[in-house]
Amino acid sequence: MPTPPYKDYADSMDAEEAQTFRRAVLNIVAQIPAGSVTTYGTIALLAGWPSHARMVGRTLRYTPEAAALPCHRVVNAVGRTAPGWSRQRELLEAEGVKFKPNGHVDMTRHLWEPEQLF
């Protein structure tokens, strides 16, 4: 049986790393332009923790300051909106974001990938 791949990152952040990550996530989300979306994974990568896409979602959900940010512009890697947040699609459509017949954001038209990625 092959050896499973080893993680090249720590399983958890210390308090200082978590604060830095939270600030980075909020800063990145604040920059997403209207009519565009980005992914949890892209935000995690930009924040310096590429394997922590789920933590981006938790940060947005549990940080009070996130309520003032365009969190509705964050979707998963295939363009699916957050489960249980029906208003997210309405907010995106109001900005001109188009959806495919399967209910996912048309990522080829609306994906925002800042230049810092390249």
Above 80 in pLDDT, residue 37? yes
- Specify the pTM: 0.86
Which residues 6+ apart lie within 8 Å of 46 measured at CB?
A: 24, 28, 114, 116, 117
Tokens of 40: 């949890």
Mean pLDDT of 54-79: 96
